[in-house]
Amino acid sequence: MRYKMTRKGLVIGVSLFHLFTFSPLSAQEHSKYIQAVDEYRPAPGQFVNDAPEYEEGDTEADMLRKCNENVAGLGPLDAHLVALGGWGGYITFHFDHSIANIPGQRDFAVWGNAYQEMKNLVFGGMNEAGIVMVSKDTNGNGLPDDPWYEISGSCDADSVGKVVYDYEVTYHQNPMGDIPWTDNLGQSGTIDRNHYHPQEYYPQWLPDGLTFSGTRLPDNMYNLSDKVDSGWSPYYYVLIGFRYGYADNLPNFTDNADATSYNIEGCGIDIAWAVDEARQPVNLDFIDFVRVYTGLNQKCPQPEWWGETSTEFMGAEDLHLEASLDAIRQATGIQPPRNGECGAWSENTPAYDLLGRRINISPSSLLPPPSSSSPSHSSKKTIIISNGKKYLSK
Ligand SMILES: [Ca+2]
Ligand SMILES: [Ca+2]
Ligand SMILES: [Ca+2]
């Protein structure tokens, strides 16, 4: 997913730095819910400028603050919707710790507002699937400016030949009118206004000519109007669910009457499903950032009905907080020294950076360990962890 405008993401706190150096790795000190939103760039849509609300003069920073108010630190019962608009619109967020890829388990869940249609005619029914991407903060700067990998959801297996990779759409402003788009396949269309949502549909804090790139999932909207009593509803369109691996695809709960019945199967994401641009699996041990973008480009043919398909986001959570923190302890080398060397550092002793990557470094390049009472280090120095002790490189 490349965002083709020059505007850069806003600076966020260096949470990883604090985690690895000064905070005890206890579950009480960390949250399984997201810490903050890094980017919010929706495509046009009927809920855009409304969820969250754009007010005259709002900047991108204002809209990020409003997104945080809606979802940061909140579970799906307390969060408020953030709308991503039509195909390609996205949100990027992070947690207060790295999420580990635990083998054989789904690692985090993304919550939305999908639901099972009332007649139980199909699997799902209100699936506005968003594609999930993950990234590791490999340059350690706390910003989502590192390589991104897409989560390969069930369409890659179930709809071979129907998924469009390397898709691209550009939207143009048309104040208080239907919003026109063109794609890189020579097609065009509009995001149509309806009388339920009277506000402007183009994100008003963003410039004209928004271009989004990524994967387009196969259309999933079906007209089942002839399957229902016309007295109950004159029209009945459903959006059939995909099996796994997307956001806003299947309901947050398996039983609507049970607020503890979290749908881990339907909403959980396994980091092991991440693939590179050649759709080959990548072997990520941790991830630090998650992005979700609307994966469907379709609208309901019946005016004033569903309108465009738009992913809604209602937060996310680490499904195994304790296991993530344990894995961070392991990766940073905070464990008993090997070979009976009681903390003595030598070139043969494994050393790691703050992301748990093994590094090679000579003893002469190390300064004494930083004091935890004076947490102000020059950003030019690198913190090294070896045998559970911290060192600063010169
Ligand atoms: Ca996993
Ligand atoms: Ca980074
Ligand atoms: Ca939805």
Q: Tell me how far the alpha carbon of residue 39 lies from the centroid of ligand 2, in angstroms.
A: 14
Cα separation, 313 vs 292, in Å, equals 8
Q: Tell me how far the alpha carbon of residue 229 lies from the centroid of ligand 2, in angstroms.
A: 54
CB within 8 Å of 278: residues ≥ 6 apart: none
pLDDT of residue 355: 57
DSSP-assigned states of every residue in 115-163: -B-TT--SSEEB---EEEEEE--TT-SSSS-S-EEEE--THHHHSTTT-
Is the confidence at residue 110, as pLDDT, over 90? Answer: yes
Q: What is the pTM of this model?
A: 0.81
Q: Tell me how far the alpha carbon of residue 283 lies from the centroid of ligand 3, in angstroms.
A: 31
Give the CA distances from residue 63 to residues 31, 41, 42, 123, 306, in Å, rounded to whole numbers and listed in that order.
23, 9, 11, 35, 25
Q: Tell me how far the alpha carbon of residue 144 lies from the centroid of ligand 3, in angstroms.
A: 25
Say whether 339 sits in a helix, a strand or coil. Answer: helix
Instruction: Provide mean pLDDT across the span 320-343.
Output: 70
How confident is residue 343, by pLDDT bands cut at 50, 70 and 90? very low
Q: Tell me how far the alpha carbon of residue 44 lies from the centroid of ligand 2, in angstroms.
A: 28
pLDDT of residue 333: 67
DSSP-assigned states of every residue in 270-308: -GGGEE-TTS-B---SEEEEEEEEE----B-SSTTSS-B
Cα separation, 52 vs 337, in Å, equals 51
pLDDT digits (tens, 9 = 90+) for 282-299: 999 999 999 999 999 999
Q: How many residues does the chain have?
A: 394
Is the confidence at residue 2, as pLDDT, over 80? Answer: no
114 touches 292 (CB < 8 A) = no
Cα of 1 vs its chain's centroid, Å:
12
Q: Tell me how far the alpha carbon of residue 98 lies from the centroid of ligand 1, in angstroms.
A: 13
pLDDT of residue 27: 79
- Asked whether the CA dihedral 378, 381, 382, 388 is positive or negative, the reply is negative
pLDDT digits (tens, 9 = 90+) for 35-71: 999 999 999 999 999 999 999 999 999 999 999 999 9
Strand order in the sheet with 148-151: 36-41, 90-100, 286-294, 130-135, 148-151, 274-275
pLDDT of residue 383: 55
Q: To the nearest whole number, what is the mean pLDDT of the chain? A: 85
Is the confidence at residue 205, as pLDDT, over 90? Answer: yes
Q: Tell me how far the alpha carbon of residue 246 lies from the centroid of ligand 3, in angstroms.
A: 12
289 touches 134 (CB < 8 A) = yes
pLDDT digits (tens, 9 = 90+) for 161-177: 999 999 999 999 999 99
Instruction: Provide mean pLDDT across the span 215-220.
Output: 98
pLDDT of residue 24: 53
Tracing tokens 């794609």 back to the chain, one arrives at: 183
Cα separation, 152 vs 373, in Å, equals 44
Q: Tell me how far the alpha carbon of residue 110 lies from the centroid of ligand 2, in angstroms.
A: 22
